[in-house]
Structure 1
């Protein structure tokens, strides 16, 4: 909704050349008997662009004219071929900046004016048919979109709107994930749950071992069989000396040795 009047510079040998702009709307034409108003900041200027946004402040038709001046010489007034009405403005999409903050999304729009609003559309991803809309004015920017579900993804789009319901095209959809946060007041919950789970698992393991040892001896003996101890280990006082059965002879094993005596010389 910025309205700029632009023109080509005058091609003349005179220097320096200055320009002045005037406008005439419904009020000037019918209430002030066809008078013209000087456009602010666009008198005796050396540029070729005039900002008429504040001057063309209603939805009425405006006549605009321009003239050049150089060294006391003034040109005739030049005007566009047809009156200008801001309702014919081609609206551009709004500049939207969004960021996640906890379980909410902060949405800000730049370049909002009193005559231009923004229609914000938001929905949970996959449920666009259930989308909600918010009418954002200059006073409500930035806008706080709160109460969102943690772990869910929400999408946003926006379009510029005039008071006469004329709208721009829609911005590209932006989606944001709401992270799951842990309440500091319940920060003890996670370690407590871990400790309780560890105690339960340990108790179940001990109970299972006791059940196996007491209630299932057959299974235990099958897995870890016991062998009887020999008598020598059971009766420590037993005579463990070696005995020979009668009739057995003890033979000594010998090797014959031949002794050689040397002859005298």
Structure 2
């Protein structure tokens, strides 16, 4: 009787060990979601042949499809220890995720400890660049996010941040330009990025630039210089016309000579327009009626 009990105990122990080695969860799974890109990762196993298959289950599959699981599109029998689930987890739902591992002749199932929702993604703010070009300040945002964003830009003067102006940028390439309004002072720019798809936002650190200080007499001096140049040019042109006028008249304004028939006529042949008639004429007197 003791031998039979010992044999049963040994068989149960062997079965428990084999069951634990075959159906335990040796993989450390985790979801890395940044800027709406969802990557599932796990620790690899040392097997002669190994492949992984990822499945997910949303609320629709859980309640309407009898708890069925869906195979991830690009993660069927793969050898890598990561899977991009971005196109599969495209709704604001809670997803359960599990991994099937085939290691040599054994199969393991590992499930993510908690459900995942894309609203839990970590937002990393895009880089903001501020540059001055003449009297224009350009503000740009280097972003390659896979979704649309709305940027709220706050412009203020250093030391008077409470008096700021707000500008909304909602279209690619997310660029803003403004004139320099306060010369010789620091103009500061702060931004907030909002993602409407997941109702989440993040802030971008403030950047300040120093604008050039143009002297107050700069513009009058420029105007006076322009007037002096115009007057000088007018004087030079006037002197040049007086000096080179005859030369220009001689070379560009030709005097046409008289026709030869007119040159051959003697002066006596010309008809005088004066009335040289010697005929006597009586004056005409008109008497009143």
Q: TM-score, normalised by structure 2?
A: 0.53
Q: Does 1:141 align with 2:164?
A: no
Q: Does 1:167 align with 2:201?
A: yes
1:173 match: secondary structure: strand
Match of 2:69 in 1: 36
Q: Is the 8 Å Cα contact of residues 67 and 74 (structure 1) preserved in structure 2?
A: no
Q: Is the 8 Å Cα contact of residues 95 and 117 (structure 2) preserved in structure 1?
A: yes
Structure 2: how far apart are the matches of 1:99 and 1:141? Answer: 16
Pairwise CA distance, 1:7: 0.5
User: CA deviation digits over 1:59-118, x for unaligned, max 9?
Assistant: 2111111112255x4623311111012223333333223333441313123232326544
Q: Does 1:5 align with 2:5?
A: no
Match of 1:123 in 2: 156
1:87 match: secondary structure: helix
Q: Which has the higher strand share?
A: 2
Number of paired residues? Answer: 187
2:141 match: secondary structure: strand
Structure 2 segments unaligned to the other structure (5+ residues):
1-34, 215-219, 231-289
Q: 2:122 aligns with which of 75, 79, 90?
A: 90
Q: Does 1:176 align with 2:209?
A: yes
Q: 2:223 aligns with which of 176, 189, 196?
A: 189
Q: Which has the higher helix share?
A: 2
1:75 match: secondary structure: strand
Q: 1:171 to 1:83 in 2, by over 3 A?
A: same
User: CA deviation digits over 1:24-79, x for unaligned, max 9?
Assistant: 223433455533333233222222122223322222111111112255x4623311
Segment drifting more, 77-86 vs 88-97: 88-97
Q: Does 1:56 align with 2:56?
A: no
Task: Specify the structure having the higher radius of gyration (Cα).
Answer: 1
Q: 1:91 to 1:129 in 2, by over 3 A?
A: same
Q: Is the 8 Å Cα contact of residues 102 and 108 (structure 2) preserved in structure 1?
A: no
Structure 1: how far apart are the matches of 2:153 and 2:66? Answer: 43
Report the aligned-residue RMSD: 3.4
Q: TM-score, normalised by structure 1?
A: 0.57
Q: 1:176 to 1:65 in 2, by over 3 A?
A: same
Match of 2:109 in 1: 77
Q: Is the 8 Å Cα contact of residues 126 and 141 (structure 2) preserved in structure 1?
A: no
Match of 1:26 in 2: 59
Structure 2: how far apart are the matches of 1:95 and 1:118? Answer: 12
Q: 1:68 to 1:176 in 2, by over 3 A?
A: same
Match of 2:78 in 1: 45
Q: Is the 8 Å Cα contact of residues 128 and 139 (structure 2) preserved in structure 1?
A: no
1:129 match: secondary structure: strand
Structure 1: how far apart are the matches of 2:148 and 2:53? Answer: 26
Q: Is the 8 Å Cα contact of residues 91 and 160 (structure 1) preserved in structure 2?
A: no
Structure 1 segments unaligned to the other structure (5+ residues):
197-265
2:78 match: secondary structure: coil
